[in-house]
Structure 1
Amino acid sequence: MTAVDYQSLIDAPTWAFIEATNAAYPPDTATLTIADQRAIYDRMCRLFHRGYPPGLAVRDENVAGVPCRIYAGKAPAVIYLHGGGHVVGGLHSHDDVCAEICDRTGLTVVAVDYRLSPENLHPAAFDDACAVIRAVAAEGPVVLAGDSAGGNLAAAAAHALRGSGVRLLGQVLIYPGLGGEVNKGSYLTHAHAPMLSRDDVLFYKDIRHGGPPPEDDPTVYPLRDRDFTGLPPTLAIGAQCDPLADDARDYAARIKAAGGQADWVEEPGLVHGYLRARATVPRAAASFARIVNAISTFAKGDQP
């Protein structure tokens, strides 16, 4: 397979972001202990933290027994599930992302501090996500959003909660890992992409289960569900230079083939984790504006 020319695909501002990330979170971090991975990830996230917009009201409280951070706004609520391979991340890692979503949409955002692996194997994180969604949705309809592992959890919950009375206005999935075939497509083309490699994907896939995962469980792999009907309107966003890129495309295609509403965007020249680059990389800023617009549109009951 021909090597990808990342020097031409990725622009200078994005390379600067990649280099700053690698300086704080080296590419071999996945080989370290879980405690070290989390400490390094937390330090890296603090480096990129943009602070809060003025006047934002934020509080921490348990929702359905799960720690959450609530960014106060109007209804409907946005439930945000953070990335981090089901292993790292929490309320602080995506704190400023959620704050900006709240500020720019005016909507309440509920960030979920779901349980992490390997201490809490699947379905712990999935159960936490579903519990918070049910609790918040008891007060009114909600919009789901999540990046990477959080996109996986959002989609898995959307599949599981069909027919339960929970009203999901839409879901925005940002470079999600949804269970695509790891031996073809973007998993091979971008196996050595900056920021996330195919080897990283395989490591995080297994650690969530303490061994090889079940292959056809839609709570693990939403893409492998056999039924894509009844899902909320969806925007699935892939980063071009990411082994997970095809998952967003294929997921949106399955929903559309089943008669649902779904759009897919592949962000050119962007890499996994680009949400942290939204203030310094024009392409990332444009994608974040797309994300915010989709959330606002879904909240109105419309389609982006």
Structure 2
Amino acid sequence: MTTVSNMNYELSEEMQSLVYWSSIYSPADQHIDSIRAAYDAMCLHYTLPRDGTVDVEDKIVPHDMHPVNVRLYSPLGQAPAQGWSCVVYIHGGGWMVGNLDSHEFITRYLCRDLNVAVLSVDYRLAPEHHFPAAYEDCEVVYEWLKQHGADWNINTDQIVLVGDSAGGNLAAALAIQLQHTANQACGLALIYPSLSGCFENESCQQHAQAPLLSVEDMHYYLKAYAPNTQDWQDLRLSPMLAQDLSDMPPSFIAVAEYDPLSDDGRIFAERLQQANISTEFYLGKGLLHGSLRLVRDCPVVQDLYQHMLSSIKQMLK
């Protein structure tokens, strides 16, 4: 699995720093435990200590077969009479790495900056758990939240799905499945999402050896999560293949310029717009895959973040 690449990219100081620290935290070997330990250490590097600006509580969403661990971030103070609006955050990590701690660099701040509850989902990971385990856990959490969210002071009519990378895949897949039901989310926000098992579009060719995520990496992650390639045609894994997007929620999609996945987000945004879904597309100029963790340090990522905040606020009106 590739970690960094010395291609001829003109990277900003912030992107060079991201590549450097990703190399510092590279795994000792290719065992999944080593990969996860390195990823966790890298995430911790970008996560500030909690400062008491939001309430944080770990909870469990019940399920007969597979209860799901979640983390609930709530604004300080009295909840509105209808409960807090809520962002369901689904973390990235190639369906293989990441947990409730890995994306606290963003989840805490979404709670504070939007003044909404944020529910982070600790879905089952590959290779121990293959497709559709991760998807099913996200679906269980969402459906439980729609039915029982009031128990946690959450307004069940005001839920936005948000995810980055593989988490963007899961969020988009869930929104696809929620079409033409009474339970559709009121918004969808995706950051450099992986949306199909096809790696032949222009961005995959142009950025096949991009730093931090190569096409080889993408194959590695996808095969670990979905070893049966027939599953790559399933809309729960490849939401890009959906023919009907007529009942998708208002959407925000951001991509990184130097990322083999950038066409996934761009094409999906175009298709949503063609289906008359209110959709904002943001191209992060000069950004690499994974750059969201520089939200406090990189002006372009901060700009992306502010656009996402603005879009989510519109979704929750």
Task: Tell me if TM exceeds 0.5.
Answer: yes
| Alignment partner, residue 242 of structure 1 | 259
Q: Could you tell me which runs of 5 or more consecutive residues in structure 2 were left unpaired when the two chains were aligned.
A: 1-5, 150-155
1:255-270 equivalences in 2 (<5 Å): 255-270=272-287
For residue 52 of structure 1, report the CA deviation from its aligned partner: 2.6
Checking the alignment, whether the CA contact within 8 Å between 1:205 and 1:213 is kept in structure 2 is: no
| Alignment partner, residue 308 of structure 2 | 291
Checking the alignment, whether the CA contact within 8 Å between 1:195 and 1:271 is kept in structure 2 is: yes
Checking the alignment, whether the CA contact within 8 Å between 1:180 and 1:247 is kept in structure 2 is: no
Checking the alignment, whether the CA contact within 8 Å between 2:253 and 2:265 is kept in structure 1 is: yes
Question: 1:69 is aligned with what amino acid?
Answer: R
1:20 and 1:70 map into 2 onto residues whose CA distance is 29
1:95-134 equivalences in 2 (<5 Å): 95-134=104-143
1:195 and 1:135 map into 2 onto residues whose CA distance is 35
1:150 and 1:213 map into 2 onto residues whose CA distance is 21
Question: 1:104 is aligned with what amino acid?
Answer: D
Checking the alignment, whether the CA contact within 8 Å between 2:93 and 2:165 is kept in structure 1 is: yes
Q: Could you tell me which runs of 5 or more consecutive residues in structure 1 were left unpaired when the two chains were aligned.
A: none
Question: 2:108 is aligned with what amino acid?
Answer: A
Checking the alignment, whether the CA contact within 8 Å between 1:169 and 1:232 is kept in structure 2 is: yes
1:105 and 1:127 map into 2 onto residues whose CA distance is 27
Structure 1 range deviating more: 16-25 or 100-109: 16-25
2:236 is equivalent to residue 219 of structure 1: yes
| Alignment partner, residue 41 of structure 1 | 39
- Identity across aligned pairs (percent)? 32
2:176 is equivalent to residue 156 of structure 1: no
Please state whether the residue corresponding to 2:285 is helix, strand or coil: strand
| Alignment partner, residue 13 of structure 2 | 12
| Deviations, residues 48-93 of structure 1 (Å, cap 9, x unaligned) | 1123343321000012421000001352111000000000001010
Checking the alignment, whether the CA contact within 8 Å between 1:278 and 1:285 is kept in structure 2 is: yes
- RMSD of aligned Cα (Å): 1.7
| Alignment partner, residue 73 of structure 2 | 71
Question: 1:129 is aligned with what amino acid?
Answer: C
Question: 2:176 is aligned with what amino acid?
Answer: H
Checking the alignment, whether the CA contact within 8 Å between 1:118 and 1:210 is kept in structure 2 is: no
Checking the alignment, whether the CA contact within 8 Å between 1:234 and 1:263 is kept in structure 2 is: yes
For residue 136 of structure 1, report the CA deviation from its aligned partner: 1.4
Question: 2:259 is aligned with what amino acid?
Answer: D
For residue 213 of structure 1, report the CA deviation from its aligned partner: 4.7
2:251 and 2:140 map into 1 onto residues whose CA distance is 21
- With normalisation by structure 2, the TM-score equals 0.88
1:180 and 1:123 map into 2 onto residues whose CA distance is 14
| Deviations, residues 157-181 of structure 1 (Å, cap 9, x unaligned) | 0011223321411000000000163
| Alignment partner, residue 53 of structure 2 | 55
1:280 and 1:55 map into 2 onto residues whose CA distance is 20
Please state whether the residue corresponding to 1:173 is helix, strand or coil: strand
Checking the alignment, whether the CA contact within 8 Å between 1:57 and 1:71 is kept in structure 2 is: yes
Question: 1:192 is aligned with what amino acid?
Answer: Q
Indicate how the Cα distance of structure 1 residues 5 and 81 shifts in structure 2: closer, same or farther if over 3 A, else same. Answer: same
For residue 41 of structure 1, report the CA deviation from its aligned partner: 0.6
Please state whether the residue corresponding to 2:34 is helix, strand or coil: helix
Please state whether the residue corresponding to 2:89 is helix, strand or coil: strand
